[in-house]
Amino acid sequence: MFFRSFIQTLPVLMGYLPLGIAFGILFANTSFAWYYGILCAMLIFTGAGQFLLVSLLAAHAGFFQIVIASFLLNIRHLFYSLSIMDDIRHFGIGKYYVLFGLTDETFAVLKSNQATLKLNSKDLEKNYLYITFLDHIYWIAGCGIGIFLGEYFAFNPKGIEFVLTALFSVLTLVLLQNSTCKKPFFIAILLGIFGLVVFPKEDFLIFSLLSGIAILLIFKPLIAKKA
């Protein structure tokens, strides 16, 4: 089961290493000690959230600003957790670790594999734990390598953050292929196009998230209804 989980997480490995390296290099250019970057990878474990944290720290943002911005950016994880509650309800104490490590990429891998693999309850729990643990290790390793490079070598990370976009795109297509309800995907595309035209550039992410949540809540019966 561990080897199968490793194979399933290879796309995440290919994305988390360079993305974690990019974060580590950026963090190394702050005034904080290197081990705080490792603690961020271990305890925060959210790619976009950690990049946001670095930019806010560089701008000398206050604690309240960091909390609000991080909450709005990561509010989508609440819905990820709700969508897998039935799957992990009968897990042991490890289910709390799964909820903690439920990143966008981990969620995509879990849901896409669930659609293709028929596992019993015990094997499903192992699969969820292994996938979450491996993705966590990939991220910590990437951040550690990046901090080392940033501390001891001159390295220009410009453009490498696009790895996050590329990784999201691949995992989204895989999830779409294995999903029986594709309406949320097309709603997201239309909302994204609309947002690029209407929403302010600096607030695009927040407005898009809030609009998407509102649409899904208001029109949930129509979205869930099968054609």
Which DSSP string corresponds to 84-120? HHHHHTT--THHHHHHHT--HHHHHHHHHHHHH----
Same-domain status, 185 and 149: no
Q: Please provide the size of the chain in residues.
A: 227
CA distances in angstroms from 79 to 19, 138, 166, 187, listed in the order given:
24, 24, 22, 17
- Contact (CB, 8 A) for 26 and 54: yes
Same-domain status, 226 and 157: no
Same-domain status, 175 and 186: no
The count of structural domains within the chain is 2
Same-domain status, 8 and 111: yes
Q: What is the Cβ-side half-sphere exposure of residue 207, based on CA atoms within 13 angstroms?
A: 14
- Global pTM? 0.71
Same-domain status, 173 and 118: yes
Same-domain status, 184 and 167: no
What pLDDT, on the 0 to 100 scale, is given for residue 226? Answer: 60
- Contact (CB, 8 A) for 55 and 38: no
Same-domain status, 148 and 198: no
Residue 193: phi, psi to the nearest 5?
-65, -45
CA-based diameter of the chain, in Å?
58
Q: Quick check: 56 pLDDT over 90?
A: no
173 or 43, greater pLDDT: 43
Same-domain status, 211 and 148: no
Residues 125-139: pLDDT tens digits?
Answer: 888 899 999 999 999
Domain that holds residue 194: 180-227
Which residue has 């309850």 as its token pair?
121
Same-domain status, 74 and 157: yes
What pLDDT, on the 0 to 100 scale, is given for residue 87? Answer: 82
Classify burial at 53, counting beta carbons within 10 Å of its beta carbon; exposed 0-12, middle 13-18, buried 19 or more.
buried
Residues 61-112: pLDDT tens digits?
Answer: 777 777 877 887 777 778 788 888 888 888 889 889 999 988 888 888 887 7
Alpha carbons 188 and 198: distance in angstroms, whole number: 15
- Contact (CB, 8 A) for 142 and 21: yes
